[in-house]
Amino acid sequence: MTVAAGLFIRGGASNINSTNAGIESLMLSAATEATAGFPRENMRSALSRMGTVIGSSSNNDYSVLSLGCTRLHFDKSWQIFTDVILRPSFTREDVSLVQDRMIVSLSDDTDNPDVYLQKLQERVAYAGHPYLNNTNGTPETVAKLTPDDLRRYHDKIFETSRLLLVIVGDLNPAEVKSLVASSIGKLPRGNYKPEPIPALAFDKSTVEVTPRELPTNYIQGLFTAPSLTSPDIYAMRIASSMLRDRVFEEVRVKRNLSYAPDAFLRTQAANVGGLYVTAVDANQSIRVMLSEIARLQNEPVGGDDIQGVVAQYLTNYYLGQETNAAQAGELAQYELIGGNWRNSVDVLEKLMAVTPADVQRVSQKYMRNIRFVVLGNPKSVDTGVFVGRAE
Amino acid sequence: MEISKTIKQLLTSMMMVTLLVVSGTQAAQTTQSGKATGKTEGPQSVQSVVAKQASLVTEFEINGLKVLMK
């Protein structure tokens, strides 16, 4: 039996700015290296002996410091986990090590076309929005951070009003309450009030081409999408799912234009969906994909098709929820950006209530004004094809 | 041996953190290539699943810190 815990920090990209981007990621990562009670070698030895994993990660809306351990070793693992939160060492050596690791990772972002495509997409889609400040930072912003910066940021950010603790495992709630009260519960309360993240607004379709000599073109386009708190999210999930199936069939299976066409719907507070494809014939691929959007907008889908998507969702949902860590992540996501954790348990019921008219309506409402980015050969891109439809 | 152990631990760590941060995103996405043909559960059983899932979660607050336990 295992236990998964996550201490989630609200704010994400809203906590940082263009000069300190990456500070939250670096602070959390450096905190897991050593603490006052567990110097580096002791911590590594103890974690390794128990098979316990403590890690961290960030996205546009929140960060997490996570713990994964066996039930047998929960008490000791919890002790280390809370020391990471309450008394990180931030030694110069540890910070320097993690900092170098992050800088190296960030520095080669332009080498991989897919990673670079996402960077290009962020610049276009998130211009003027808090999400433009990537929570992982840039090589320049991360390089400037010092151990003192991390200590100050740690003291500022670890206030209970900004945090959410999620624990999944075979534990007694009364005992956990006592453990939390004597550790994380002693952090300053603060007066953090989450501010709603501004919605993204795209007023027209655009395409920006970044020249690079590649065997194929890497293409992605984003449109705005409903957030988890919007009633439209359920119909949009069905619509996005159908679009994915259809572009796969039309672009890959029928025409062999690409091996990896995709339509997707993300899950973030200021939400987006989109299209992705790698193709030599960029124009034809996008023409076919936009035609499929138009078909969703103009022709009602069948009720059986919706039932099929819901059945897929049910299977994928339970497959994805098999681990304690996944269940903790799901609860946190809904609590932090989905209105309330309770909204995570009735998704299936709401998907089953979606009608063909709902799917058509959300396709018309959201699948438009697409912001495309292309990495590849500018001569292979006819701008009119990209911006001429789905508007 | 030691290197493979370290790599294994690193991968485990990365997988767990990824699950915590994006698990909901993955679960929310509904598609794979091809169409599903299975039938969905009836409304009655869905409602009972919803009620059971919700009953497994305990929530409390300590000094402004919200805690969810499942």
Segment A256-288, tens digit of pLDDT: 999 999 999 999 999 999 999 999 999 999 999
Task: List the single residue in A185, A186, A308 with the smallest CB-CB distance to B35.
Answer: A308
Chain B interface test: which of A61, A241, A253 (most B C-beta within 10 Å): A241
Type of residue numbered A140: E
pLDDT tens, position by position, A211-230: 999 999 999 999 999 999 99
**pLDDT (mean) for A102-128:** 95
Do the chains contact at B20 and A57, CB–CB below 8 Å? yes
Side-chain-side CA neighbours of A7 within 13 Å: the count stands at 26
- Of A38-52, A115-129, A170-184, B13-27, which range is least confident? B13-27
Q: Which two tokens stand for residue A217?
A: 């073109």
pLDDT at A114: 96
Unique residue bearing structure tokens 């932090």: A336
CA-wise closest residue to A8 among B11, B57, B68: B68
In sequence order, the β-bridge partners of residue A7 are A65, A165
Do the chains contact at A311 and B38, CB–CB below 8 Å? yes
If you write DSSP's letter for every residue of B13-69 in order, what string do you get?
HHHHHHHHHHHHHHHH----SS---PPPPPHHHHHHHHHHHHHT-EEEEETTEEEEE
From chain A, pick out residues whose CB is under 8 angstroms from the CB of B27.
Answer: 316-317, 320-321, 326, 330
Between CA A109 and CA A138 the distance in angstroms is 10
The C-alpha of B3 sits at a distance from chain A's nearest C-alpha, in angstroms, of 13
Q: Quick check: A245 contacting B, CB < 8 Å?
A: yes
Average pLDDT, chain A: 95
- Of A332-341, B25-34, B54-63, which range is least confident? B25-34
Do the chains contact at A328 and B57, CB–CB below 8 Å? no
Chain A interface test: which of B7, B9, B13, B21 (most A C-beta within 10 Å): B21
Please report how the helices A147-157 and A92-107 are oriented relative to each other, as an axis angle in degrees rounded to 10.
90
How many other C-beta atoms can be found within 10 angstroms of the C-beta atom of residue B35?
17
Nearest CA in chain A to B40: A311
Between CA A376 and CA A210 the distance in angstroms is 6
The C-alpha of B12 sits at a distance from chain A's nearest C-alpha, in angstroms, of 8
Side-chain-side CA neighbours of A4 within 13 Å: the count stands at 27
Chain B interface test: which of A136, A314, A359 (most B C-beta within 10 Å): A314
pLDDT at B42: 53
Q: Quick check: A68 contacting B, CB < 8 Å?
A: yes
The C-alpha of A378 sits at a distance from chain B's nearest C-alpha, in angstroms, of 30
Do the chains contact at A241 and B63, CB–CB below 8 Å? no
From chain A, pick out residues whose CB is under 8 angstroms from the CB of B48.
Answer: none
From chain B, pick out residues whose CB is under 8 angstroms from the CB of A351.
Answer: 30
pLDDT at A329: 96
**pLDDT higher than threshold 60 for residue A245:** yes
Q: What is the DSSP letter of A155?
A: H
pLDDT at B12: 52
Q: Which two tokens stand for residue A154?
A: 């740690």
pLDDT at A389: 52
Between CA A370 and CA A390 the distance in angstroms is 8
Q: Which residue has the higher pLDDT, A96 or A316?
A: A96
Q: Quick check: B31 contacting A, CB < 8 Å?
A: yes
Between CA A391 and CA A386 the distance in angstroms is 10
In sequence order, the β-bridge partners of residue A210 are A375
Do the chains contact at B46 and A56, CB–CB below 8 Å? no
Q: What is the DSSP letter of A300?
A: P
Do the chains contact at A346 and B37, CB–CB below 8 Å? no
pLDDT at B36: 38
Do the chains contact at B29 and A307, CB–CB below 8 Å? no
What is this structure's pTM? 0.88
Q: Quick check: A272 contacting B, CB < 8 Å?
A: no
pLDDT tens, position by position, A144-185: 999 999 999 999 999 999 999 999 999 999 999 999 999 999
pLDDT at A52: 98
Do the chains contact at A326 and B27, CB–CB below 8 Å? yes
Do the chains contact at A165 and B67, CB–CB below 8 Å? yes
Q: Which domains does chain A have, with CATH numbers?
A: 2-186 (3.30.830.10), 206-386 (3.30.830.10)
Q: What is the DSSP letter of A88?
A: B
Q: Which two tokens stand for residue A129?
A: 């929005």
Q: Quick check: A179 contacting B, CB < 8 Å?
A: no
Distances (CA, A) of A106 to A149, A221, A310: 20, 23, 38
In sequence order, the β-bridge partners of residue A164 are A8, B66
